[in-house]
Structure 1
């Protein structure tokens, strides 16, 4: 048995689905079901007794303690987080509460549980914290990619809150001996991603014939990682990672945002052509976000060298699978586009097209 937090969100749900497709080991899945947590992501597991879903908050210490006491998991994997930079700029408090206070309370409950274990159960227990490359700040063109020794320089309320959570996890290992693992991943894309992030937003807007918003000049560079490759890296870290270590997980796919948009448009031109012309005609450059980091890049050499993990997908194969998934799942897209989502997008981009 393992305990997964945030397992109804984008990365967490993909992890839960992949885990149960490859293992009979059960999962207790704790998710508060904010706007980005969607049980429809887990519809395939509705009758699967190996999947125990609990709606709740990682900041609820009594609930966490009860789950640990009743289910006796051998590991906690923490995906739970507020993760959208723009939302953190407009409303940072939720990020402080979930990413910092929530992680602290999860660590406290996990430490108390671990201290009560004996023998091999205590030796084998792991607390795996899933984080982001954004904690490292921004790179200039030509600078070496982020490795695990790179200093933390977060530039948004989101990345600052994740940096704080990473520091707490590190401190709980060094102070209390809690057998923690931390992973810092690059930009994920793939099935079930809420359409506020770049890839699904461009796909969904394009299919609806709406403008495709691109920040600034579109030359912000990110490393792109197919979500199922990320899930494989997490499984491998849980299996063989060294307690107290950090592993940077990336796809070796540095690309500017505008290239991502052009690639999606080209795929849609082939798979679902518009009658009015190419999808590129829908691109609308909008005012850049405050403090927008120019470049992220992940050096994934350590996880490859020490754990033997490499991504299976190239960007070309992963993005084609992603576009096809959104084309094949219009009901999911329609359901996730709730009134709250439309209000957010309209508010956020209103008056910003230039």
Structure 2
């Protein structure tokens, strides 16, 4: 549920105003009923004496040098000043109680979420690559509540939260932050920081916490691919070289680049997807299916459709194919 946010400065100013109003009301009550009070120092109560009494009374200090002596003054203390004292204390400690309550509530929500979440996807880094990865996941009908974004940029986290994603503020290189994100029970981890050295450290940390998770990492330079694989990444995408190849192809065969963009855009047109084989397809050739099959995934390994291993479909295989995507209704 969205929570209403109030500026801390505005909240403090509002509480100070309430405290001043309670103090002023008490001073006026004591001053107008000053004949019912007795000062140990002797003499009638002055305005300063009334302010002094109101202050020590509302703060529960109570030195006892000024006391109500008449029945009316004592009745006013019981029925009016005591509630004002309670209000004053609530105003003073209200901010602290509110912070403690909110922290406790958030801690309970995090603990409850961590105890229930399984097989989710953790995206570390919500820059251009991380946002694109999330868009692709959502395009495959992934549940936003099962996608966790880890980043140190508060603005990026707010953007992710507006999409219904779970957000964790912190560095992906720290194991305690990744534990909060539930990396140990994640199905897949997307490593998409801005720097290659950060990607290596994040991958090392994530692999240590999640030995069985699928880790996909992005790097800018191809020379760092082996470092990511040695760190535990299952798949490595070289962003700069991929973009460079597309730019080079666009100069001579722009239609090919347009087709690539269509395949990589899950919203409409064509898209690359993966599915399980159907029972009636077992034993047949993937080249004879109505779908345009690009490859066969068998025991976690991908075989291109022209490979000898992909001549016949076996039970348990998965097909990598091109599907037609119908645009969503506005």
Same fold (TM over 0.5): no
Q: Which fold has the larger relative contact order, with Cα–Cα distance below 8 Å and residues 6 or more apart in sequence?
A: 1
- Larger gyration radius, structure 1 or structure 2: 2
With structure 1 as the length reference, what TM-score do the two structures score? 0.20
With structure 2 as the length reference, what TM-score do the two structures score? 0.21
Larger helix proportion, structure 1 or 2? 2
